[in-house]
Amino acid sequence: MKITVIGSGYVGLVSGACLADLGNDVLCLDVDPRKIELLNNGGVPIYEPGLDEVIKRNIAAGRLRFTTDVAASVAHGLVQMIAVGTPSEEDGSADLQYVIAAARSIARHMTEYKVIVDKSTVPVGTADKVRQAMQEELDQRSFDPQSSLLAPEFSMVSNPEFLKEGAAIDDFNRPDRIVIGAEDDAAVKIMKEMYAPFQRNHERLMVMDIRSAELTKYAANAMLATRISFMNELANLAERVGADIEHVRKGIGSDQRIGYSFLYAGCGYGGSCFPKDVRALQRTSAEYGLPLKVLEAVEQVNNAQKSVMLKKITKRFGSDLTGKHFALWGLAFKPGTDDMREASSRVLMEGLWARGATVTAFDPAAMKETRHIYGDRTDLCYADNAKNALQDADALIIVTEWKAFKSPDFGIIKARLKQPIIFDGRNLFEPADMKKQGFEYFGIGREG
């Protein structure tokens, strides 16, 4: 099948590359010529494990190409998949300008039937806006009613993505479900054909109306964010009452109605999805006069949780941290990515700097992004590995749960730190073990 993917960001690249890997003929469009040149030369502008291999393999096979030519991209695909960014507006609503612009571009150039697929994360009602924008463009074009050159028809589909950064290739290739929001049989048939390779073992396709599909994406992320904030609140309570949140997690997670996923206490969630989607869903609900009070609390708890580690540090060292130096392991909002959008590390570092402290930081993937955000400053040093970040630091702070941090050489940590103190924002280690090895250890919900 010929597929056009509009937008070569995270969702567009992963979706386009994986669809090409299934044997489809995929053309990816982006307005940034530097990005397209990089991609056509086999480079990848984002960090996602395994993505570069998939892209290179399919470029070599001739199944994946990249272009800035809008007319060529519209002519190419029966399926026109819109996967552009939907950043947050100041009021929390999703900015749909890029989605609408993509839709108008399709309508200006299409000459035959197309299936327009909203792959971007968009609020309920976006498909209606896309349909209206396309129809406006088609109405402005000249079509001779006496000839065969009539205005081409199109179908609208909502096909939200459920990709986790750091595991996106596996998520695409082994989906829990594939949600298709469509309102005509022709579009459903085409989408079923496109996703047929995923249907061989068991039914994964869920066909529903468009608005339900649009809401499903936001509801999924909001539910996961809620679990995280709930556990963080329980963790803070556990510290007050002398309980251990890890024991609590295992106790409730063993209930099959609850499960263990997203029940880990920590220093807050970040990234491009959860914060933005929680806010956008709240905004949508407010527009309909039905504020979502649970999600208001979820966001408030998460914002506060990002400062929990700083509070622990100032409690131990005092509010004035002038002359104190800290080693920081983990900058990305989660392991497996270089994404630092709304990362807890940023709140922590900026709080430390405001109190006079300096930081030496290391992350396996996000060093380049950190330099892009903060540049060169006297209170931030960039380490080339985790061990070198430790040298002469007053304490080690762990913010991201990279696998490489889970089994460190504690002898080296103790030898390089000025004093054996660890602030663990992801509960990687057991407090009892740390005490036996001579560390002062501060976790989340585990002080007792």
Total domains in the chain come to: 2
Q: Is residue 223 part of a domain?
A: no
Predicted pLDDT at 142: 72
Q: Is residue 227 part of a domain?
A: no
Instruction: State the Cα–Cα distance between residues 338 and 348, nearest whole angstrom.
Output: 17
Predicted pLDDT at 146: 54
Is residue 273 among the annotated active site residues? yes
- Both 195 and 250 in one domain: the answer is no
Q: Is residue 354 part of a domain?
A: yes
- Both 386 and 308 in one domain: the answer is yes
CA-to-CA separations, 52 to 2, 8, 133, 264, 364, in angstroms, rounded: 22, 13, 35, 30, 17
Predicted pLDDT at 202: 78
What is the block-wise mean pLDDT of the chain (448 residues), using blocks of 10 residues? 96 97 97 94 91 95 97 97 92 91 96 96 94 93 63 94 93 95 96 92 91 96 97 96 96 96 96 92 94 96 97 97 98 96 97 98 97 96 97 98 96 97 97 96 87
Instruction: State the Cα–Cα distance between residues 120 and 172, nearest whole angstrom.
Output: 15
The tokens for 115 are 């299936």
Contacting residues for 142 by C-beta, under 8 A, at least 6 apart: none
Domain that holds residue 177: 2-208
* Entry pTM: 0.91
- Both 259 and 164 in one domain: the answer is no
Domain of residue 121, CATH code: 3.40.50.720
- Both 287 and 433 in one domain: the answer is yes
DSSP state letters, 41-64: TT--SS--TTHHHHHHHHHHTTSE
Consecutive H or E run containing 222:
helix 210-241
Q: Is residue 222 part of a domain?
A: no
- Both 192 and 262 in one domain: the answer is no
Of 18, 28, 267, 273, catalytic: 273
Instruction: State the Cα–Cα distance between residues 303 and 156, nearest whole angstrom.
Output: 37
- Both 179 and 290 in one domain: the answer is no
- Both 255 and 328 in one domain: the answer is yes
Predicted pLDDT at 203: 85
Q: Is residue 57 part of a domain?
A: yes
Residue 138: count of CB within 10 angstroms of its CB: 18
- Both 200 and 240 in one domain: the answer is no
Contacting residues for 348 by C-beta, under 8 A, at least 6 apart: 267, 306, 307, 309, 310, 328, 397, 399, 425
- Both 199 and 243 in one domain: the answer is no
